[in-house]
Amino acid sequence: MTRADTPPAVELSRVTKRYGGGEQAVTALDRLDAVFPSGTFTAVMGPSGSGKSTLLHCAAGLDRPTEGAVTIDGTSVTGLSERALTRLRRARVGFVFQAFNLVAALTAAQNVALPLRLAGRRPAAGEVTAMLAEVGLADRAGHRPSELSGGQQQRVAIARALVTRPAVLFADEPTGALDAASGRDVLRLLRESVDRHGQTVVMVTHDPFAAAHADRVLFLADGRVVDELSGPAGAPEIAVRTARLEAGVPS
C-alpha cells in the first residue's frame, strides 16, 4: 500500500471544544478541521491560548471534543467507552511532554517497558534495549531519571512513547525545557522516527527552529487553523508567519 492509500493517522472534523458554561464559557477549539497523514511530521504553532494543547489532547484521545469527530488510526473516538478509549490510546498513541514525566522510581529500561506492561505484554528479550539504543542510551538502561540529564530523560521519554510503535506520536513542547544542543538531539530523533520508521509525529512548539524539522506547520489562532506552511520550511519563514499571527495581521 502506498502512503497515499493509507488512512490518515489522525483526523479531526469540525471539532469544537468548550470549557465551562454560561458567561465563563471558553471556546478553545472552534469547528477545527485537521488531517495528520500517516508517516508525516507536523508542527502546530500559534499564540498563547490559541488552542494548541487542546488540539493535541483532543487528537490524542486524552480529552473529548464538545462537538465534532476525531478518528485515530481509523477508529472513531466518539462513542468509545472510557475503557475502550484508554485501550486505543495505550496501543496506538504515544505522548511526549515538556516535563519528561518519567516515573522517578523506575530505571530508564523499566520506564521504556512500562507501556508494554500496561498493555499486558511482557517485553521480548532485547526489545527495550533496542529501543534505548535507538535513542542513543543503551548504556544508561539501569539509570534512574534523577541520574540522567534533561536531554537524556527526554530521549528515554521518546523511547517509551515509541516502544509500542504507535500510529501517532504527540509531543507537547518537547524541547521547551532543554538547552539548544539537547533540543536538537530530540528533534533529530523525532525526524528520524518519521524518515526511518514511517512514524507520524505531531508536535506543538513555540520555537521556529524546532518547527523547521517538520514537513508541515499548522498555525492556530482562536481555535482554528488560520495558516499552513507545507514542505520543509526554514526557521526564518516560520518566524515571519508567527510574528504576523501574533500581531494579528492576516496572512
Q: Does 49 bind ligand ATP (CB under 6 A)?
A: yes
Angle at 154 between CA 227 and CA 183, to 5 degrees: 55
The residue from 51, 115, 123, 145 that contacts ligand ATP (CB under 6 A) is 51
Choose between 43 and 113: whose C-beta lies nearer to ligand ATP: 43
The reply on whether position 28 binds ligand ATP by CB under 6 A is yes
Q: Distance between CA atoms of 163 and 114, rounded to whole angstroms?
A: 9
Dihedral, CA of residue 85, residue 90, residue 95 and residue 97, to nearest 10: 90
DSSP run (H or E) holding 24: none
- Residue 46 interacts with ligand ATP (CB under 6 A): yes or no: yes
Instruction: State the Cα–Cα distance between residues 199 and 205, nearest whole angstrom.
Output: 19
Judged by beta carbon, residue 51 or residue 115, the one nearer ligand ATP is 51
54 vs 111, which CB is nearer to ligand ATP? 54
Contact pick of 1, 5, 20, 196 for ligand ATP (by CB under 6 A): 20
Residues in the chain: 251
Give the three-class secondary structure for 27.
strand
| Least gap, CB of 204 to ligand ATP (angstroms) | 7
- Provide the Cα torsion 44, 7, 130, 140; round to 10°: 20
> Any contact of residue 176 with ligand ATP (CB under 6 A)?
no
The answer to whether 31 contacts ligand ATP (rule: CB under 6 A) is no
Cell numbers 500500500: residue: 1
Tell me which stretch binds ligand ATP (CB under 6 A): 18-26, 88-96, 129-137, 148-156: 18-26
Site membership for ligand ATP, residue 52 (CB under 6 A): yes
Which of the ranges 49-57, 71-79, 89-97, 181-189 carries the binding residues for ligand ATP, by CB under 6 A? 49-57
Alpha carbon distance 245, 241 (integer Å): 6
Cβ–Cβ under 8 Å, residues 55 and 129: no
Binding site for ligand ATP (CB under 6 A): 19-20, 26, 28, 46, 48-54
